[in-house]
Amino acid sequence: MARSQSQPRSHWRTVSLVTLWQVAASVCYYTVFAATALFREAFGLSRLSVGFVVTALTLGYATFLLPVGALVDRYGERRTLVIGLLGLSSGAVLVAGAPSYALLLAAAFVLGSLYATAIPGTNKAIYDNVAAGRQNLAMGIKQVGVTAGSGTSSLLVTGLAGVFFWQAGFLVAAAVGLVVVAVFAVLYPGSDDNGRAEYPDFRALSHNRPYRVLVAAGFFLGAALFTTTGYTVLFVAEEIGTSVAFGGVVLALVQLTGSGGRIVTGWLSDALPGEPRVRIGAILIVQALGSAALFVAVAATATPLSATVAFAALGFFVLGNTGVYYSCMATLVGADEMGGATAGGQLALVAGSILAPPAFGYLADTVGYRASWWLLAAGCLVAAGLLAYAIRLEPPIDEPAMVE
């Protein structure tokens, strides 16, 4: 992808607008994660059935990720992001209006499919408009939009449910999306492309051994991330014995510390000395190990204070690693492979989020929450081992996408 030669001020204007878009999109998408306890009450669901709602959401995302990525390449990120946020606002309304569990699953699938515009569109905006040397920090800031939006949605959904009705937060999220899409459409400077839509060349990437190992680690990282956001409110309300609104505050705090993790690790990825593959991979390994330890800590909590502290610390590690994950990927593949590599890496994250929530819910129903959190801890340990192996392997490329 050709990178813009505009001045730094223009770079950060683009980053600001893309981050604003990401916040609004995540407010809509993550309403489902924040409402798990409300779904359980409104539709009389088991914990396993709640897990399938999260699965429907992420399955929609996974199904449309590659087609939408091709559309971004052909029509440009500006047009795709505008249509995507309009669709996300409509999807939030569909979830709020679902009259049955079956239609709730269908609405969640639609909402997830429209969120597929997020990663291809916003990543293209960053890599096309931000100069080398600033991209890791820019990516970390942009990824803060995910946690900021998720934290906002948790407060909206759980807070407004206690004052009005359980669907109120979804309607406010939709309104936020409509306002932001109008601002974005007017101010975003990106141009529409007229290229040829192509699917990623996974055959070529399959010969890149360290990339394959990184993608395998991404499965476990995605499982930990999305299951944490999906079950935090339910765990705090049921196991710790607090209100749903308090659980929403805890989830918002998890997202806040996750935002801090994304900014700090993005800055460290740019600032620390050493070979990029090693230093960025080491940061990601530390995040995986920290997540494993804190999942064990969460499993042992029994009071609102201890749960709040444990979840806040967990957020920094488990939600703070996506920007570094893609930065690490950029050290293993060439610039002309980054689009396909991003799609493959994101699919790995989403695959983890499809399979893990029902497994987590099943264990919580049959054994207890402690076993569920231990399952995620074990997955993070596996991810750390895979990451350590990946950075020891030499990538089969002459020049990686990330250059210094």
3-state secondary structure of 177: helix
What is the Cα–Cα distance from 343 to 180, expressed in whole angstroms?
Answer: 26
Which stretches of the chain score pLDDT less than 70? 1-10, 73, 126-137, 139-140, 142, 190-204, 335-340, 397-404
Within-domain flag for 400: no
Please report the pLDDT score of residue 5 as a whole number. 41
What is the Cα–Cα distance from 278 to 392, expressed in whole angstroms?
Answer: 8
CB-CB contact of 331 with 280 (8 Å) = yes
Within-domain flag for 404: no
Within-domain flag for 175: yes
**Cα angle 246, 248, 251; round to 5:** 115
Q: Which of 215, 198, 195 is nearest to 333 (CA)?
A: 215
- Domain CATH number, residue 278: 1.20.1250.20
Within-domain flag for 58: yes
Within-domain flag for 1: no
What is the Cα–Cα distance from 320 to 338, expressed in whole angstroms?
Answer: 21
Q: Which residues contact 231 (CB under 8 A, 6 or more apart)?
A: 36, 357, 360, 361, 364, 372
Enumerate long-range contacts of 38-41, CB under 8 Å, 24 or more apart.
38/157, 38/158, 38/161, 38/166, 38/244, 39/104, 40/234, 41/166
Please report the pLDDT score of residue 340 as a whole number. 65
What backbone torsions phi and psi does residue 142 show, to the nearest 5 degrees? -60, -40
Count of Cβ atoms closer than 10 Å to residue 123 Cβ: 24
What is the Cα–Cα distance from 227 to 214, expressed in whole angstroms?
Answer: 20
3-state secondary structure of 198: coil
Please report the pLDDT score of residue 135 as a whole number. 61
CB-CB contact of 224 with 372 (8 Å) = no
What DSSP string runs through 347-390?
HHHHHHHHHHHHHHHHHHHHT-HHHHHHHHHHHHHHHHHHHHHH
Within-domain flag for 155: yes
CB-CB contact of 32 with 22 (8 Å) = no
Which structural domain, as residue segments, surrounds residue 340? Answer: 8-187+200-392
Within-domain flag for 192: no
What DSSP string runs through 279-324?
HHHHHHHHHHHHHHHHHHHHHT--SHHHHHHHHHHHHHHHSS-HHH
What is the Cα–Cα distance from 214 to 212, expressed in whole angstroms?
Answer: 5
Q: How many domains are contained in the chain?
A: 1
Within-domain flag for 215: yes
Q: What are the pLDDT digits (tens) for 199-245?
A: 555 666 777 888 889 999 999 999 998 889 878 888 998 889 888 78
Token pair for 110: 């639609």
CB-CB contact of 335 with 401 (8 Å) = yes
pTM: 0.73
